[in-house]
Structure 1
Amino acid sequence: MAKGLTEKDLGKFKLVGNIDAFGRKLVFQVTEISVEKDDYFSRLYLYDGRKIKPFTSGKKDGNPRFSPDGRLIAFTSKRDKESKEAELYVIPTDGGEARLLTKFKYGIKDLRFTEDGKSIAVITPIDIEKKPNDDVHVIKEIPYWFNGVGWVYGRRSVVYLLDIESGRKKRLTPKELDVGTIRFHKGKLYFTAQEDREKNPRVSDLYVLEGRKARKLTPGKWSVQDFIPLDDGTFILKANTLERGFATNTHIYHYNPETGELRKLTKDLDRAAYNSLNCDVRGAQRAELVLKDGWIYYVATDGPRANLFRVNLEGKIERVIGGDRSVESFAIGDYIAFTAQDAVTPTELYIFRNGKEKKLTDFNGWIKDYKLSKPEHFKVKASDGVEIDAWIMKPVDFEPGKKYPAVLEIHGGPKTAYGYSFMHEFHVLTTRGFVVIFSNPRGSDGYGEEFADIREHYGERDYQDIMEVVDKAIKRFDFIDPERIGVTGGSYGGFMTNWIVGHTKRFKAAVTQRSISNWVSFFGTTDIGYFFAPDQIGGDPWNNLDGYWEKSPLKYAPNVETPLLIIHSTEDYRCWLPEALQFFTALRYLGKTVELAIFPGENHDLSRGGKPKHRVRRLELIAEWMERWLKRE
């Protein structure tokens, strides 16, 4: 039997990311997954232009930044085992001991050196009002919690300035603003921030700090995610104008705050300016805008691939790093450094110089000893004439002439995509003897706003696309047993799994993960429900209760005949636990075949960043459920 990847191989992956560049030098982060210790450990590596060497010795080192002169590297860590605080260190680039500068109670979101290199600006959350010294939560705002963070009411992210020599720190930005990104230019601090995350949760503006006051530079109706100040007082913005809600693509713009003119530089490429490909073994991503020689560099999702592009102020767009792969992080010094992966190659570090590409690392070279199933691409012409990208992966021990059970995988979002990125889960299933089918139906990212826009139409064209993909796969690949097909997905993919089992009996097994079963409860209990549900379903439960219920899989529970496993986490604040509990209760009450697996202490990102032992157990549960119902005689 061929040696394929199993769930227990999770601990072999090395997650490469968070690059920073200075001249020919690179510093980057490598994270290891320890299933045995049930934890993640990360350290920094340095490339001096000739060779790579381990650079720090901590177990939780990350988020490195070069100083403007390249002599220091600042990074975050957690070396004090007794403390829960995030620690900020600096270390000489030429080597030596790392020096602890300070600690922050609620963590460090990002950091940057000032232009003179004498101070470091840190984004960190603080409590904006004194909280009672007890365990009672007195809440006055929404959102009150956030997935992966916990309680966030009464808390905002602010900028502190830390003097490297003295260690003195002072808060720069008003505590009422929730800061997202920061950059220095000509002695001034510019930053993005949310002003009212309750009433305008998707709006993030650009500000400049003038004295002790912050002046808003954008009109309060866009989501500004990154920016570059230009010498003439204008700005490059990576922003989303929100015109089509969550279906709107993020683009690169040139913005003049004096005239209010916003000019879309990437209008000739209807693609989102970020990486939205799914991956369950991804390193820390840093893909900030970079301005170099008149070109703005950025990552965009183009169909099933994420590539590095550049655009100039005239709107000319060029693909810099292409190919059927996923560019994860990048930085530019004397050359372009980037991390990338594809469907059978985990993430490694590369450089691109003088038109030539060179691979620098081989942290995941161990995978060459395994037999992997490479996805086979096929096109599906949907019933309305639109082409859908789809793939199948054969079992690792595939034998011509034999019939195999299959598992249909549905991605989350819905505005994300499958494609040329690594999915450990898929390889586990092919090792177990399953065909894996996956696709990018309507709602997916990478194909333009019109393709992505399924607002108020969940379970319609997207559902048709998915079912037509299955029909085409069965017709085209005669080794798929049409009587033994299962379905699984998480988040939106979990919603769609719930929807599918309530609308068809053709699947013989299903696993729904971190899903939505009831849009009314989702609206009122989750971190994004109060603005995501109105955008996706239309209105709110008071003016569109029929629409909310019509699009809720819970309504169709009496129709379910497919054996269903529900996987959910106790701290999933994106799709809270009641979404699983009420669907499970309804199905048990109605006498259906259903089981519920609850992961304590995990959140919506269980499959990507949960405790290693829980991640292994989750994969086991999925595979065992599919084997139980699809492989029995």
Structure 2
Amino acid sequence: MKKIDIKDLGKFKLVGGLDVYRRKVAFTVSEISIEKDDYFSKIYVYDSRKVVQFTSGPKDSNPRFSPDGKFMAFTSKRHKESKEAELYLIPTTGGEARLLTKFKFGINDYEFSPDGKTLAVITPVEIERKKKKDDVHIIKEIPFWFNGIGWIYGKRNHIYLVDVESGKKRKLTRGNLNVQTLKWSKDGSKIYFVAQEDRGKKPMISDLFVVDLKSKKVEKLTDSKWRIGDLVPLEDGTFILRTNTLERGIPTNTHIYHFNPETKEVKKLTAKLDRSAYNSLNCDVRGPSRNPLVYKDGWVYYIATDGPRANLFRVNLDGEIERVIGGDRSVETFGIGEYIAFITQDATTPTELYILRDGKERKVTDFNAWIREYKLSKPEHFKVKASDGVEIDAWIMKPVDFEEGKKYPAVLEIHGGPKTAYGYSFMHEFHVLTAKGFVVIFSNPRGSDGYGEDFADIREHYGERDYQDIMEVVDEALRRFDFIDSERIGVTGGSYGGFMTNWIVGHTNRFKAAVTQRSISNWTSFFGTTDIGYYFAPDQIGGDPWNNTEGYWEKSPLKYAPNVETPLLIIHSMEDYRCWLPEALQFFTALKYLGKTVELAIFPGENHDLSRKGKPKHRVKRLELIVGWMEKFL
């Protein structure tokens, strides 16, 4: 059998973005073209009997069925010369797609009205217009940019109504509101939506609003205390909300609530399951998908991260919770018609479409059949009892051609977040390393999602219990698996994992090579330069750089640069607005100034999502750099 290679990245088919009407399922299949250095996508339809390609592409996605099932809307970019996002409509019986309209700054989301005659579209809008030829940025607010988008100052997301027959559009919301998601009322006279009222001063707060389509009057229904992510309006005038109450700041789990706007009564439906109501598992080969919230027959269906797995759950209004789709895997998205359609993956199987009907599950696509020709290392789970008695989930993956009695180098992988998780999802990077002869070690230390709020809450304690957990995982792996060469262990991670890699090399010399990616090296500079810095750093580190100057410096890996002895490769993207380029530059400069072994790789035109959504050739180059660095020093 074959070994997986870096350039096999181009073979993955990324299945995602589904919608369901009765027995029909529309979904998107994306391809990664290394040769053309781009991504391409088409829409497919499963009609309960067979799967057929429905659109020709090259960049069709986000399908939505009309309420009567006669039409499908989708977004695309079919005109190469146009930079605008295009919205199309096509009969579900087939035929030519008709361009409805275009939006200059993209389409974030959209929904059909109950009668199918109107589409409500969320799109970025300039609320302060710049002169066309003026290339000077006059900035009056924070945040001024956002990762993967670019400049956002002077813009807000607003709702437009698009006539399905004529394609004419009219603006519905205005002003400072920043709309995030929407749902129509059953009679089509109102639209309920979630929006930020003041993203500069209250960046973590979003509220539930309603707008009357005749009067255009907007009313706020909640009290600016929560971060609301999604909603489902019920027939009795109450709502199902996916909400984070922020009681413990960012580590607070997002739960499902029942909300009565008249009485302001709020009930946490998922109180019996201390887990986040979304999928937070890491994966580098997944397709774009919505995170649905579906109410059907008295049950609310939602995805939650439960340890190293993301499963489909349902909860009723009495708070009774059931696991609908379980297993050691990652449920990416789902839809409900006459059966449940869902997209899932696991550690050795990339994304595919499945259906659940009458309690029986069936796989209906096989776009990634090529993977069965490859010999893959399956993650082996082990528990680590930390020094304070808490159990930590950890895994190793043996080299593909593993031989008993032989010693192997190992690479410790650290996930980002920190409130995400590793688990039963496909990581191409891990399989590349095992194919190259490395053992891969990974874990979910304190700070990770999926294990409850107490476990996730490391605010003001970065580099303490989380660092201990990671080092104790390495100790336990060496004790259990004698084929790991303790003198040849490397470490790598991105975002929070990059911060932790920087922290590790400043606090121990036990690793012989390190690769830090999209990292944080200085919390003070992070506070003032990144899209989320001004609220993420105060939440995670405590206070701000003026009232906690010492704390910000104590938790900054830059402080410990003189201690670094591990050869370090720094990988960073030029347009990473989550952890901006200076985080890499200052750490590289410090280490070079101090005479350390360090190199810096900067990727132009890329952002914080280089490893997941970057240009295919850059993704290949990144993996080549990581493997090359580990091979050189291990």
TM-score by structure 1 length? Answer: 0.99
Answering whether residue 153 of structure 2 is matched by residue 149 of structure 1, we say: no
Greater Cα shift, 253-262 or 402-411:
253-262
How far has the Cα of 1:167 moved from its partner?
1.8
CA distance in 2, matches of 1:559, 1:263: 51
CA distance in 2, matches of 1:111, 1:246: 28
SS of aligned partner of 1:556: helix
Answering whether residue 202 of structure 2 is matched by residue 200 of structure 1, we say: yes
Deviations 1:43-88 (A, max 9, x none): 1001111111000012000001000000000000000110000000
Answering whether residue 257 of structure 2 is matched by residue 258 of structure 1, we say: no
Deviations 1:395-416 (A, max 9, x none): 0010000000000000000000
Asked if the contact 1:273–1:301 (Cα under 8 Å) also holds between the matched residues in 2, the reply is yes
* Mapping of residues 226-375 of structure 1, within 5 Å: 226-375=230-379
How far has the Cα of 1:444 moved from its partner?
0.1
How far has the Cα of 1:232 moved from its partner?
1.0
Asked if the contact 1:4–1:431 (Cα under 8 Å) also holds between the matched residues in 2, the reply is yes
For the aligned residue pairs, the C-alpha RMSD in angstroms reads 0.6
Which residue matches 1:115?
Answer: 114
* Mapping of residues 203-602 of structure 1, within 5 Å: 203-210=205-212, 211-602=215-606
Deviations 1:16-59 (A, max 9, x none): 01110000011000000000000000010011111110000120
Which residue matches 1:16?
Answer: 15
Deviations 1:350-374 (A, max 9, x none): 0000000000000001000000000
CA distance in 2, matches of 1:111, 1:32: 24
- Specify which of 598, 603, 607 is matched with residue 611 of structure 2: 607
CA distance in 1, matches of 2:92, 2:166: 20
Answering whether residue 30 of structure 2 is matched by residue 31 of structure 1, we say: yes
SS of aligned partner of 2:59: coil
Greater Cα shift, 555-564 or 119-128:
119-128
Which residue matches 2:172?
Answer: 172
CA distance in 2, matches of 1:507, 1:3: 30
Specify the code of the residue in structure 1 equivalent to 2:272: D
Which residue matches 2:162?
Answer: 162
How far has the Cα of 1:175 moved from its partner?
3.2
Asked if the contact 1:287–1:331 (Cα under 8 Å) also holds between the matched residues in 2, the reply is no
CA distance in 2, matches of 1:70, 1:287: 22
SS of aligned partner of 1:245: coil
Return structure 1 stretches of 4+ with deviation > 6 angstroms: none
Asked if the contact 1:174–1:213 (Cα under 8 Å) also holds between the matched residues in 2, the reply is no
How far has the Cα of 1:260 moved from its partner?
1.1
SS of aligned partner of 2:475: helix
CA distance in 2, matches of 1:339, 1:447: 23
How far has the Cα of 1:288 moved from its partner?
1.1
Answering whether residue 90 of structure 2 is matched by residue 88 of structure 1, we say: no
Deviations 1:316-361 (A, max 9, x none): 0000000000000100000000000000000000000000000000
CA distance in 2, matches of 1:603, 1:301: 26
Q: 5+ residue gaps in structure 1?
A: none
CA distance in 2, matches of 1:598, 1:157: 31
How far has the Cα of 1:287 moved from its partner?
2.4
CA distance in 2, matches of 1:168, 1:91: 17
CA distance in 1, matches of 2:624, 2:166: 52
Asked if the contact 1:67–1:74 (Cα under 8 Å) also holds between the matched residues in 2, the reply is yes
Asked if the contact 1:143–1:528 (Cα under 8 Å) also holds between the matched residues in 2, the reply is yes
SS of aligned partner of 1:614: helix
How far has the Cα of 1:231 moved from its partner?
1.1
How far has the Cα of 1:264 moved from its partner?
0.2
CA distance in 2, matches of 1:261, 1:381: 42
Specify the code of the residue in structure 2 equivalent to 1:154: G
CA distance in 2, matches of 1:425, 1:93: 39
Asked if the contact 1:173–1:213 (Cα under 8 Å) also holds between the matched residues in 2, the reply is no
Deviations 1:473-514 (A, max 9, x none): 000000000000000000000000000000000000000000
CA distance in 2, matches of 1:167, 1:378: 57
Specify the code of the residue in structure 1 equivalent to 2:104: K
Specify the code of the residue in structure 1 equivalent to 2:398: K
CA distance in 1, matches of 2:217, 2:591: 56
CA distance in 1, matches of 2:289, 2:198: 27
SS of aligned partner of 1:246: coil
Specify the code of the residue in structure 1 equivalent to 2:281: L
Which residue matches 2:136?
Answer: 136
How far has the Cα of 1:289 moved from its partner?
0.4
CA distance in 1, matches of 2:217, 2:620: 49
Which residue matches 2:102?
Answer: 103
SS of aligned partner of 1:558: helix
SS of aligned partner of 1:247: coil
Which residue matches 1:619?
Answer: 623
Greater Cα shift, 410-419 or 257-266:
257-266
Asked if the contact 1:157–1:175 (Cα under 8 Å) also holds between the matched residues in 2, the reply is no
CA distance in 1, matches of 2:500, 2:555: 10
Specify the code of the residue in structure 2 equivalent to 1:90: L
Specify the code of the residue in structure 2 equivalent to 1:196: D
Deviations 1:518-575 (A, max 9, x none): 0000000000000000000000000000000000000000000000000000000000
- Aligned positions, number: 629
Asked if the contact 1:567–1:597 (Cα under 8 Å) also holds between the matched residues in 2, the reply is yes
CA distance in 1, matches of 2:434, 2:368: 20
CA distance in 2, matches of 1:451, 1:213: 44
Q: 5+ residue gaps in structure 2?
A: none
